[in-house]
Structure 1
Amino acid sequence: MKLDKMVRSVYPKLMPYVAQLADLPVEEMKQALGKDTVYKLSFNENPLGPSPKAVEAMQKALLDLNLYPSSNGEAVISRLAEKEGVQKENLILSNGADEMIVMVAQTFLEPGDEVVMPHITFVQYLASAHLMGATPVLAPMKDDLGVDLDAILARITPATKLVFLCNPNNPTGVAIPADELRAFVEKVPENVLVVIDEAYHEYAVDPEYRTSVDMVGQGKNVFVIRTFSKIYSLAAARIGYGMGPSAIVDAINHVRPPFNVNSIAQAGALASLDDTAHVTESQAINQQGKELITRLFDELGMKHLPSNTNFVCVDTGKDSTWMFEQLAERGVIVRNLAGYGMNTSLRVSIGKPEEMQAFVAAMKEIIEK
């Protein structure tokens, strides 16, 4: 078999998802480390768990597993349109935010096209560009690791089709000020789509941050991505959504597989949207966890970025791989940011109170020794 003659020309640039220690489920982490107790603070998961109303709705939906789901998720889309103040034709569902990113790439990108994105951001944007044979163009960050919109604008050429922004950004947690983002969109050519991933929207606390959904209603060349994986804690169900001008949504629907979001996920999402108390509690737990570990970092003299997410990015001042391994030895798993070129930084997800206390104790022990 001559695989190189069979696969697409972009194949050498496509990297399969290979789970590292920080990516494993807790039970597999325990096996890998040989420990009975492991604290997973690496995947930005909601420690509160899903809404009880969502669980009840999903359990009820199990009785109809013999039936195909709504192809476009009509009930969820109608509820989202009401919540977000857009029209139903401005909405499209996906199998998590990851699929939405891939569908956008499949809709708009061809070999030779360019995709501009910040140098430090969610890796799926880079992967989706490579998938379609397009050229990713990385713009440098600001000195404070904020997204440099001027640098991105300077890299837009006649070959540019997409700009990817994560706001608030992952893995830094920094938000883009709303006025700066709006001014940026006004300067972007009309034939370039600005994709704004707002996966962490509900966690944002920066007073200068605002969602970009209002620009959708104004017909701007903006497509906003959201997910039910974070604040709604439905990561395993895989459901996300996008909002954009109706023509953009219609174009993406041309590549969207039918029944891409299952009935169980749709039921959970619909019930989650009506449980505002669960969202409020999730935000409160998250804020408490952030305050706990940022106080720790201040005590230890470690710089950390302002977080508008459910994680904190911290510069430990030491080799990040060494620090990651030291924490892992103590059963605490975080995200090593060496792969982003941040060789002294870690990303710490906010977990349950006992998980955060375990992280605090482990960090103090490491530093003291």
Structure 2
Amino acid sequence: MKLDQMVRSVYPNLTPYTCSLADLPVEEMKQALGLEQVYKLSFNENPLGPSSKALNAMQQALSQLNLYPSSSGEAVQGKIAEKEGVLPENVILSNGADEMIILVAQTFLEPEDEAIIPEICFVQYMASTYLMGATPVFTPMKADLGIDLKAILQKITEKTKVIFLCNPNNPTGTVIPADELQAFIKQVPENVLVVIDEAYHEFADGDGYRSSVELVSDFANVFVIRTFSKIYSLAAARIGYGIGQAALVDAINHVRPPFNVNSIAQAGALASLDDAEHVAESRRINQFGKQLLCKTLDELGLSYLSSQANFVCVNTGKDGQEVFDRLAERGWIVRKLTGYGLNSSLRISIGRPEEMEAFVEVFKEVLSK
């Protein structure tokens, strides 16, 4: 079989998702390291776990696994619309935020098109662009590793179809000030879609940040992506959503597979939206852990980025791989950033208070050697 003559021409640009140590489930990490206890601070997961209301709703939904779910998730759409002050026709559900990014690419990108992507950003934007045979155009970051909107504007050409932004950004945790983002969108041609990934929206609490959902009514080319994976702790259920003007949502619905979000995920999402206490506790745990970690980094004299997400990007001042390995030997798994050229930096997800208290002591020990 001559596979190279059968697959699409985009094939060489795509690679299967292969799990390194930091990507494995905890039980597989234990096996790989030969340890009985492992702490996973590499995936930006919510350590609190799902809402009890969500778990109860999902348990009840199990009895109807023989039935197909709502294709569009009308109940969840309606609840999101009510919460965000938009109409149900402004909301579309997806199998996690990753699928929503892919759906956007499938809807708008063709082989001759370009998508602009900041060079230190979520990798799914690049993968989805390549999937459609389009060309990713990378723009440099600011000196402080913030997203450089001016650099993006300079890269817009007649071939530009989509601009991907992550706000707060992954893996840096930095945000684009709301006034700067709105001024930027006003300068983007109306035929260029601005996709704003707000996966970490609920954790953002600093000055200058506002959700871009408020821009949707004024800009037909703005599309906001959210997820239930982070603050709502439903990462394994795979449910995300997008918000845009009705015509934009309708266009994406033309390529969205029917029944793309299962009934268990829909039940969990619907219940999660009604559990304000779970969200508040998730934020409290995150704020405690982040403050403790940053206090430790200050004591160690290390530079780090001010994060409005549930992780911190820190420059260890040492070889990042070496620090990663030493932490892993002790059962602490974080995220290397060598793929972005940040060879001395690590991204550390925020765990439970007791985990963070233990981690900072191990971190001090590892860096002292």
Pairwise TM-score range, normalised by the shorter structure: over 0.9
Look up the match of 2:320.
320
State the identity %.
71
Distance 1:368 1:188 in 2: 48
Asked if the contact 2:61/2:264 (under 8 Å) is kept, the reply is: yes
Alpha-carbon displacement from aligned partner over 1:294-348 (angstroms, at most 9, x marks no partner): 0110011110101100000001111111111111111100000011111110000
Aligned partner letter, 1:360? V
After superposing the two structures, state which structure 1 stretch, 349-358 or 304-313, moved more. 349-358
Unaligned runs of 5+ in 1: none
Matched, 1:123 2:123: yes
Listed as ranges, the matches of 1:71-220 within 5 Å are: 71-220=71-220
Distance 1:315 1:193 in 2: 34
Aligned partner letter, 2:299? E
Shift of 1:245: 1.2
Shift of 1:367: 2.2
Aligned partner letter, 2:18? V
For the aligned residue pairs, the C-alpha RMSD in angstroms reads 0.7
Asked if the contact 2:220/2:248 (under 8 Å) is kept, the reply is: no
Distance 1:99 1:220 in 2: 21
Aligned partner letter, 1:169? N
After superposing the two structures, state which structure 1 stretch, 183-192 or 352-361, moved more. 352-361
Alpha-carbon displacement from aligned partner over 1:9-41 (angstroms, at most 9, x marks no partner): 000001110010000000000000000000100
Look up the match of 2:222.
222
Shift of 1:250: 0.5
| 1:217 alignment partner, SS class | coil
Matched, 1:342 2:342: yes
Distance 2:211 2:79 in 1: 18
Aligned partner letter, 1:89? E
| 1:309 alignment partner, SS class | coil
Unaligned runs of 5+ in 2: none
| 2:137 alignment partner, SS class | strand
Look up the match of 1:240.
240
Look up the match of 2:330.
330
Count residues in correspondence: 369
Shift of 1:368: 2.4
Shift of 1:358: 2.8
Runs of 4 or more above 2 Å deviation: none
Distance 1:68 1:219 in 2: 35
| 2:92 alignment partner, SS class | strand
| 1:274 alignment partner, SS class | coil
Shift of 1:206: 1.5
Distance 2:117 2:245 in 1: 21
Distance 2:219 2:187 in 1: 15
Distance 2:175 2:41 in 1: 21
Alpha-carbon displacement from aligned partner over 1:76-103 (angstroms, at most 9, x marks no partner): 0011111001111111000000000000
Shift of 1:219: 3.6
Distance 2:187 2:206 in 1: 24
Distance 1:61 1:159 in 2: 46
Aligned partner letter, 2:276? T
Look up the match of 2:45.
45
Distance 1:368 1:69 in 2: 54
Asked if the contact 1:332/1:358 (under 8 Å) is kept, the reply is: no
Asked if the contact 2:320/2:344 (under 8 Å) is kept, the reply is: yes
After superposing the two structures, state which structure 1 stretch, 191-200 or 315-324, moved more. 315-324
Aligned partner letter, 1:54? A
Distance 1:68 1:91 in 2: 21
| 1:195 alignment partner, SS class | strand
Alpha-carbon displacement from aligned partner over 1:229-271 (angstroms, at most 9, x marks no partner): 0000000000000001111111100100000000000000000
Aligned partner letter, 2:343? N
Aligned partner letter, 1:88? P
Look up the match of 1:291.
291
| Structure 2 length-normalised TM | 0.99
Aligned partner letter, 1:69? P
Shift of 1:357: 2.3
Matched, 1:249 2:249: yes
Look up the match of 2:13.
13
Distance 1:217 1:356 in 2: 41
Look up the match of 2:24.
24
Distance 1:190 1:282 in 2: 38
Shift of 1:359: 1.7
Distance 1:111 1:368 in 2: 51
Aligned partner letter, 1:92? I
Aligned partner letter, 2:99? E
Asked if the contact 1:106/1:132 (under 8 Å) is kept, the reply is: yes
Distance 1:367 1:290 in 2: 19
Distance 1:70 1:180 in 2: 39
Look up the match of 1:308.
308
